[in-house]
Structure 1
C-alpha cells in the first residue's frame, strides 16, 4: 500500500470548477400564470459566453444556461434527468433508426413567428453544414447525409435524412439504429431557429430570438462581460413557465465576489461556492446551502501533439502522471469533501456507471509506479521543460491545479505548475484554436443523462469537444456498436469496453466527480438544482 503525501505540506486551500460543456436540465414548472409569474426579479451568477448565442455553436456552460432559458427543445430534462416532451407532441420509431417527430401546434418564437417542423430541420441543417463551422455539428453525425454536408466542398447543403412532412411533422433517418437518439433531443444543438436567424447569424447570436420560457429584456440586453437580462416570454406555453418577473445573469470576475453578493442579498442563487467558503458555506447558509451529486466529470487534457506525450512514450508519461496524483487527498483537503475521486470517465449518477472498469487501476495513487513509468519513458526520450496545466482564473481553479502540479512535481521530480488565463473565454479560445502549448483543465457537464454522452462528444475521432484531438479506431468502433443497440444494458456494456481503451491511452487524466455546491439568498424560494448542477431558474421566486 502506498503512503499518501499530506497536502498540508503542498497547499492548503479549496477550489471550485466551471466546465467546458453544457446541456439542458429542467423540471416541470409549478403552474403559475402563462408567460410569467409574479415571483420577483431573480439574479443569478453566470460567465460571459465564449461565442454568440447560436444553439449549434455554444458548447460551454456559460452560454449553455442562457440558451436553455431562451429556448425550448423537443424534450427537456426534469431535475432527476428524466426526459419529458416540451415542444414535441410525440417522437416515434419502430426500429430505432427512422423517427417521426410531431410537434405541438400553435408554437411560436418570442417575436411571434411560428415554430414549425421547418424551424427544426433548417436549424439542424445549418448546424451540420461544414462551411458553417458550428462547434456542435458532431451531434448531427448519426443523421443520413451528414457526411455530404461536411465534405469540403459540401456535396449537399442539407442532410438527406431530414424531411419535412407538414408544418408539425418531420422525419429523421439515421445511418444505423440509435435507441438513445430521443434522449439526446433536449440538448441545445437540437433547438429550432426562426427564419430571421439565417439573414445574419452573427447578428442573431448577439440578440437571439428563442421559443423558451424567457426572452431578452431588450435587443441590447446582453452587456458583454457584465450581465444579460431576461424577462418571461409570453408566447411560451410549455411546462417550464417562468414563475418570476425577470431573470438576470451577472458575469462575476470571481466566485468570491458572487458569494459576497449572495450573503448581502444582492445575488439570489449561486451555482459554485468559492474556494474560500467551501469549508464554511453549509454553516453560513444552513438550509439554503446545496451539496448534492451531479453529472459532472473533471479532468485535464494533454494534447496528443504535445512533445513527449505521443506514441509509446506518451502512454507511459500519461500513466505516470495519473499515478502521481492523490485524488482522495485533494478531494478531502482542497475540496472539503465536495468532490469524489474519479473511478471512470463518466459519472456515478448516470445509469450504467461502474467503478470497476478494467484498467481503472491507473487512477490509483502510486508514487513508486509513477516514478518507474516516468523513468521508462525517459529511456525512450529524456523529458525536458516544464509541465503546465492551463486554467481560467475566473473559475476558482488555482487551488486544485496548484495541488495537482505539486504532486506531479514532488513525485516525478520535474517542473510542473499552473498556467492561468484571465477568463474562461480566453482559455477556450486557445483550446479551440489549438494554440495552447501545454495540458489544460477540462470537464464535462452532461448534455443528456447517458454514458454515451460522456464518451462520444469528447473522445470520438473528430468530435466537437475532442479538444485533445484523440483518435483510436477501436474506441470509435465500440462507440458505434453501443449506439446501435436497442437494449440499454447491452449498450452500456459496450461503452464500458470502450472505457478500457481510454484507460490504456488516457487522452484525458480523470480527476474527480463534482457535487454541485451552491446556495440561495434569504429572499429566494423554490430553488432546486438539476441532475447536471444547473439551477432550475424558471421556478425560482423571490420575496
Structure 2
C-alpha cells in the first residue's frame, strides 16, 4: 500500500496484527542460525510455467508475478507486514486526494544502463493502459483521468453468443498523467481517491525500458529490469522447466538480495517437489501436498513457517453456463454453496491451514466483516441445498448429461479438495462432478480468458496491495483485469466507485462491504476458504519468510 504525506490511506492494522500471529510451524529460521551465510548461494524454488511473457503490466498470475517482482522495482514496495516503503519514489504528495505529485529519485538505471526518469514511468503506464497493447493489468490505471479514452474497446456478439472485444482507443496517452521534468510526475485522477497511492507498489506500475515498448513480446522472453535480480543469461527462461535469476550487483533499493540468485524450478505436482526438498535438491516451496499438511512441521523441524496471509480461494461459476443462468441458475448457485462443507474440508483436507471463508476478502485485510447480508450461504446446510436445487428444477431442469467439471491446475495441491467438493455435490444434490485437471496454471487461465469453461473453475486471489478494494475491483468489477468470467453488475460497480471516493477508511470499507453484499446476491463465485500460508525449506537455507500476502520474500532468504 502507498501512503501520501497529506492523505489518509486505507489501514493495515489488521494485517500487521494478524500476519505476525502464526497458526503453527516454525519461527522462520532453522536451528543452524550460526552457520556462515553464503551471499553468493543460488536458491532453488518451487514454481510453474508463467502464463505470458514477463511484462509487469501483463502478468497477473502468481507464477509469473513472483519473477516480475524480483526483476523490477517501482515507486514503492511493501515490507513483510504490508507497510509501504519508498523505492524509486522520493515523495508522493497530495492536498486533495485527486491531484498527486510524485518525485522520482535520480540516478536509478535499468540493468542495460538506461536511466529511469519521470518520463519512463509515464510512458510505461500509458503503454499498460492503451487497449491496443492488450496488457492484462491495464485496469489498474482506471482512476487516472483520460483512462477511458486510451482503454476504449468495442464489443460484438457472434452467432455463438460469445462477445469479442476489439481495441478502439480515442487517445494514445492519459490526459491526467504528465512528466513535468526528469524527476516530477503529476497525476490527476477522475475523482478524489484517498487510497490511490496504495497501488503504486504493485507490478502494473513498474517502469519499463524503452526497448520493451518497441517489441514487448520479444522483451518479455528476456526482460531487462531494475530490481534486486536480473535474468541469469540469454535463454535463462527454459520453457516448461525453469527460470534462472542472479543478483543485480548494481541494485541499491530496499530489497537487497541476501543470496546469489533464485532458480525457479517448474513442477506439475507438489509431491515430487516435496521429495526433492527432503533430499535437499530443492530449497524452498510454498505449495505443500495435501498428504503432507499433517506432517510438514515434523518433516522439516525448525525449517517451516505458517501464518495467516491476504490470500483467498473461490469456486467461480461462469455466467455463460446455461445451467446457472436466470432464476433457476441463481438458486443452483446458492445450492452449490450450501452443499460445500467448508469447515470439514479445511480441517480434514487442509489440516487447519485454511479457515472457512466468511466473505469475498480474507480476515487479515483491514475492513473485513464476517456477518455481511447474504453470507449465510457460506454455511454448510445439506437440507437447504437440496431444497434450493429442487426449486430450481421446477423452473428449469438441470442438464446433467455430463458430469459438472471443475477446472484446476494439479500442481497446486488442488486435487483432494476438489474431490471433496465434488463428493459434496453428489451426496447433497445428486449431481455428478469431477475435476478437469491441467498440468499448468496458465492453461486454466487461458481457458477462463477465452470463456471456454465447460463447467466451474477453481480461482483465488493473492493481494496486490493491502486494501479491501483489491479483493473486489480487479476480480469482479465490469471489464476488470482478472474478471475472466465477465461478471457485471452496475450496482456493484457503483458501490466500488463510491468507496474509492470516500474521505475516510471507515466510509470506504463500508461501501466495499455493501458491494460484497451484491456479490452474495449474485454469487458469481463461491468463497471457499482463507489461507494460512505454509512454507518449508531445505538444510541449505538458514532463514526464510513470507510477506503480508503470502508471497515468499526470496531476496531475504539467507543460505549457506
Superposed counterparts of 1:92-491, under 5 Å: 92-152=93-153, 153-385=168-400, 386-491=403-508
Quick one: distance in 1 between partners of 2:445 and 2:510? 33
- Aligned positions, number: 508
Contact 1:37 1:242 in 2 (8 A): no
The 3-state SS of whatever aligns with 1:485 is: coil
How far 1:333 moved relative to its partner? 0.6
Instruction: Tell me if structure 1 keeps the 8 A contact 2:38–2:559.
Output: no
Where does residue 31 of structure 1 map in the other structure?
Answer: none
Partner of 1:81: 82
SS in 2 for 1:231: strand
**CA deviations over 1:450-495 (Å, ceiling 9, x no partner):** 1000001111111111122111111110000000012111100111
Q: Tell me, what secondary structure is at the counterpart of 1:248?
A: strand
Find the aligned partners of 2:361 and 2:529 in 1 and give their Cα distance: 10
How far apart, in 2, do the equivalents of 1:340 and 1:356 lie? 15
SS in 2 for 1:437: coil
Residue 234 of structure 1: how far off its partner (Å): 2.1
**Contact 2:468-2:512 within 8 A present in 1 as well:** yes
Aligned CA distance change for structure 1 residues 280 and 267 (closer, same or farther; 3 Å): same
Q: Is the 8 A contact 1:112 1:235 kept in 2?
A: no
Which blocks of at least 5 consecutive residues in structure 1 are unaligned?
A: 1-35
Q: For the Cα contact (< 8 Å) 1:128–1:146, is it kept in 2?
A: yes
Q: CA deviation at 1:39?
A: 4.5
| SS class of match (1:123) | helix
SS of alignment partner, residue 121 of structure 1: helix
Residues 244-301 of structure 1: per-residue CA shift (max 9 Å, x gap)? 1121111112111111111111111111111221111011112211221111110110
Aligned position for 2:162:
none
Query: Is the Cα contact below 8 Å between 1:39 and 1:541 reproduced in 2?
Result: no
Q: Tell me by how many angstroms 1:415 deviates.
A: 1.5
Cα shift at 1:394: 2.0
Q: Deviations 1:133-178 (Å, cap 9, x if unpaired)?
A: 1111110111111111122421111111110011111111110111
Match of 2:517 among 472, 495, 500: 500
Please give the alpha-carbon distance, in whole angstroms, between the structure 2 residues aligned to 1:66 and 1:252: 16
Q: Which secondary structure state, in structure 2, belongs to the residue aligned with residue 435 of structure 1? A: coil
CA distance in 1, matches of 2:439, 2:269: 10
How many angstroms apart in 2 are the aligned matches of 1:39 and 1:196? 30
TM-score of the pair, normalised by structure 1: 0.92
Residue 37 of structure 1: CA displacement?
A: 7.7
CA-CA distance at 1:329 after TM superposition: 0.2
Partners of 1:73 and 1:486 in 2: CA distance: 26
Query: What do residues 306-336 of structure 1 show as CA deviations (whole Å, max 9, x unaligned)?
Result: 0121221111110010001110000011111
Question: Could you list the per-position Cα deviations for residues 61-82 of structure 1 after superposition, in whole angstroms to 9, with x for gaps in the alignment?
Answer: 0000001100001111111111
After superposition, the C-alpha distances for 1:355-413 in whole angstroms (9 at most, x for unaligned) are 11121101110111111111111111010223221111222211101100110111011
What is the match of residue 165 of structure 2?
none
| TM-score calculated relative to the size of structure 2 | 0.89
Deviation at 1:103, TM superposition (A): 1.1
1:42 touches 1:541 (CA, 8 Å); kept in 2? no
Q: Is the 8 A contact 1:230 1:248 kept in 2?
A: yes
Contact 1:292–1:515 (Cα < 8 Å) also in 2: yes
Which deviates further from its counterpart, 67-76 or 143-152?
Answer: 143-152
Partner of 1:32: none
Q: Is the 8 A contact 1:254 1:394 kept in 2?
A: yes
CA distance in 2, matches of 1:417, 1:138: 34
**Helix, strand or coil for the counterpart of 1:234?**
coil
Task: Provide the rounded CA distance (Å) in 2 between the counterparts of 1:534 and 1:527.
Answer: 11
Mapped to 2, the partners of 1:172 and 1:310 lie a distance apart of 42
The equivalent residue for 2:546 is 529
Which deviates the most, 206-215 or 379-388? 379-388
Asked if 2 retains the 8 angstrom alpha-carbon contact of 1:326 and 1:365, the reply is yes
RMSD over aligned Cα atoms: 1.2
